[in-house]
Amino acid sequence: MGASRYISSGLIEAYVSRLASPQEEQELEMAIDQYPEIAIAVEDCRLGMEHYIMLQSVTPPTVVKQNLIRIIADEEAGKLIGEATEETQIIEDTPAGKMYVSSSWRWAAAAAILLLLGSLLLNFIYFSRYSDYKVKYEALLTTNNTLASEQNVYRTRIEEMEHSLEIVKDPSMQMVKMPGTKSFPSLLATVYWNKASKEVFLMANNLPQPATGKQYQLWAIVNGKPVDMGVFDIGTDTAAILRKMKSVDNADMFAITLENKGGSPVPTMDQMYVAGKAS
């Protein structure tokens, strides 16, 4: 585009009134550098625009100038102070100030991290201890239960033994020892016979555990004839406990045979384990 065409295009007026787009501005600025007559035309137009601007002048409030004078004086004073003490102030003060701020944050961060780590460690320790104590507690609980049940067992046994003792203490009680027969010489059982009440109690001092399907049977020999006194089993602590058998008025002898489970109406003589006279 030639210089005259720029002048008549309206671009100069658009440029001066700030209407031109950035591309148009760029284009015209290149043309200004290239053509002196365009530079003159732009400047003429601009003077007109500035004249128009000047016509619209309004005296501003006096407070604006007062503020400005104060702000500028403060700034300049600040600069002078800054220049005078720059080396000491800026090098010592400013970085130290920054260091103070950043180091305090660093301390806070370090403290927070330490607290967190400490907390995690304590959590771990206390959880381990908790688990440990839980196991121990459960073990103690089991032991306690075991002890309690054992205590019940012992109490029952003691009660039984006390009961047995009560029976034996009775003055009308007669003790009949039944040693092992020729076939079983090491065996022993005892009958406690209360002649007043006719009650019969048995203590299996030493009798072997019978084979399965077999049971011991106590017999009383009355006037030469065997009378069934009941069957019994052998427990773990039978040796110390009296068990009540059938009552009998009169008996010459007591004996124990091994019979089929449930007992037999007549004793199997070759299976007689122990026997003793009532005297």
Minimum Å gap between C-beta 64 and other proteins is: 5
Burial class (CB in 10 A: 0-12, 13-18, 19+), 24: middle
Give me the helix-helix angle, 22-34 and 36-55, nearest 10°.
Answer: 120
Check residue 239 and report its DSSP letter.
G
The residue (of 45 and 239) whose beta carbon lies closer to other proteins is 45
Question: Three-state SS for 51?
Answer: helix
> Residue 64 or residue 211: which is nearer to other proteins going by CB?
64
Q: Among residues 28 and 275, whose Cβ is nearest to other proteins?
A: 28
- Choose which of 23, 58, 249, 279 interacts with other proteins (CB under 8 A): 58
DSSP 8-state symbol, 278: -
What is the rounded distance in angstroms from the CA atom of residue 270 to the CA atom of residue 259?
Answer: 11
Rounded least distance, CB 105 to other proteins, Å:
32
Q: Is residue 51 near other proteins by the rule CB under 8 A?
A: yes
Interaction pattern, residues 75-114, with other proteins; x per rule: CB under 8 A: -x--------------------------------------
- The least distance separating other proteins from the CB of residue 19, rounded to whole angstroms, comes to 4
Residue 16: Cβ-neighbour burial (10 angstroms; 0-12, 13-18, 19+): buried
Closest to other proteins by CB, 68 vs 96, is 68
Q: Which of 30, 40, 71, 153 contacts other proteins by CB under 8 A?
A: 71
Residue 147's SS3 state is: helix
Per the CB < 8 A criterion, the answer to whether 218 and 245 are in contact is yes
Q: Which of 190, 188, 157, 161 is nearest to 173 (CA)?
A: 190
73 lies in the site for other proteins, by CB under 8 A: yes
38 CB burial (10 A radius; 0-12, 13-18, 19+): buried
3 scored as a contact of other proteins (CB under 8 A) = no
Site string for other proteins, 11-50 (x = CB under 8 A): xxxx-xxxx-x----------------------xxx-xxx
Residue 212 binding other proteins, by CB under 8 A: no
Neighbours of 37 (CB within 10 A): 13
- Near other proteins by CB under 8 A: residue from 4, 5, 9, 34: 9
Shortest approach of other proteins to residue 28 CB, angstroms? 12
Q: Residue numbers of the site for other proteins (CB under 8 A)?
A: 9-14, 16-19, 21, 44-46, 48-65, 67-69, 71-73, 76
